[in-house]
Structure 1
Amino acid sequence: MRCKPSTNTKLTLFIVLLLVIDQAVKFTVKLNMELYQSIPVFGNWFIIHFIENPGAAFGMQLGGTWGKLLLSLIRIAAIVLIAWYLHRLVKKAAPTGVLVGGALILAGAIGNMIDSAFYGLIFSESTPYAAATLFPEGGGYAPFLHGKVVDMLYFPIINSTWPDWMPLIGGREFTFFSPVFNIADSYITVAVFYIILFQRKFFLK
């Protein structure tokens, strides 16, 4: 008689699949694109634009070497906390939607942590003139926990100018949506919106 996979096993396999997708895209970009290179995918609305983010999501960061280390340690602590809470939700037999949302958030956090922890060790520096190489002879571009997160998804759907009558920003150009992000960021964003919109009742209880 064949045993059905447990909920923990299913969630683990789901998280591993999400991580494989995230890392496969990042490796492809890192090894084949020059820094700041852009590849239009859907006109000017969807562009693969390669940048590296030394900080948190959407370019937020803490300054200096110690700031980067602190940010990495905060990421690790957050991953441990999310994993513990997700395990607790499994024990409480939480709805499938809640568990999937939690798995997406955990996968997103781990995906970016992998970049921060290991990319500096295994990749050479990406430059505007050359793509990076994997396992370079002289070693990587940064020590453990000091790597940069690879971002590439850019959706400049609207490019316009603020009306002149608006104070402070009138006449300035603006782009919506301007941040460049990655698949791991998408996991977190989608999960948070999904939980807020469809799983509020569970957490309110």
Structure 2
Amino acid sequence: MSLKKAYLLVLVVLVLDQVLKIYIKTNFLLNDEIIFFDWFRIHFIENEGMAWGVELPGDYGKLALTLFRIVAVFGIGWWLNDSFKKKASNYLIVAIALIMAGALGNIIDSIFYGVIFNESTPGQIATMFSDQPYGTWFHGKVVDMFYFPIWKGYLPSWLPIWGGKYFTFFNAIFNLADVAISVGVGILIIFNKKVFKN
């Protein structure tokens, strides 16, 4: 795969991610849900921190996270260019491109969404380019929407720790950028021998 095609893949994933997020943000109330199947839903939430809703404490936690993401993207960009120069496998090029696209997608939310949207609430749909933005630069919330509660129910009481408790598998709500990162990492793991054949 050429470097041009790799960056085209980054661009396509990034545009699709942002179009979907902007559509959800400007058409859904916070916590609105569309149920396609019991196990597949679109459920609008906003994530203030890292994956799985983890947050860094303090006033500067979000800023530190966003700055770390920006530095990481530069590192991923260097890795992509270096891998191309070394004629790495297409598996590796595609994986890095997907990870880069996903990271950029969530960075855009973190940097810009706080200053271009007003607050999404259960009673208010956000508007773009609002004169009452909900945050500041580098303090935006990441838009998430894909929800796959594949199984819900009480676990058998004989299970240690979780026995008898109500459990949902898969409980995470995520976005297209997260999917791109996960697929990229999955390629690195599953096709490890082909990825790092040199």
TM-score by length of 2: 0.95
2:188 to 185, 191, 195: 195
Moved more, 150-159 or 93-102: 93-102
Partner of 1:29: 24
Partner of 2:113: 119
Q: Aligned-pair distance for 1:201?
A: 4.7
1:172 to 160, 165, 183: 165
Question: Cα 1:182–1:24, aligned 2, differ >3 Å: closer, same or farther?
Answer: same
Report SS of the residue matched to 1:106.
helix
Report SS of the residue matched to 1:142.
coil
Pairs within 5 Å for 1:116-155: 116-138=110-132, 140-155=133-148
Q: 1:98, 1:199 within 8 Å by CA — same for their partners in 2?
A: no
Q: Aligned-pair distance for 1:202?
A: 4.0
The separation in 2 between residues aligned to 1:12 and 1:169, in whole angstroms, is 44
Deviations 1:78-114, CA, capped at 9 Å, x for gaps? 1111110111001111111210111000000000000
The separation in 1 between residues aligned to 2:149 and 2:121, in whole angstroms, is 23
Report SS of the residue matched to 2:196.
helix
Report SS of the residue matched to 1:47.
strand
For structure 2, the residue ranges without an aligned partner over 5 or more in a row are: none
The separation in 1 between residues aligned to 2:176 and 2:159, in whole angstroms, is 35
RMSD over aligned Cα atoms: 1.4
The separation in 2 between residues aligned to 1:160 and 1:10, in whole angstroms, is 45
Is residue 12 of structure 2 the alignment partner of residue 12 of structure 1?
no
The separation in 2 between residues aligned to 1:180 and 1:155, in whole angstroms, is 8
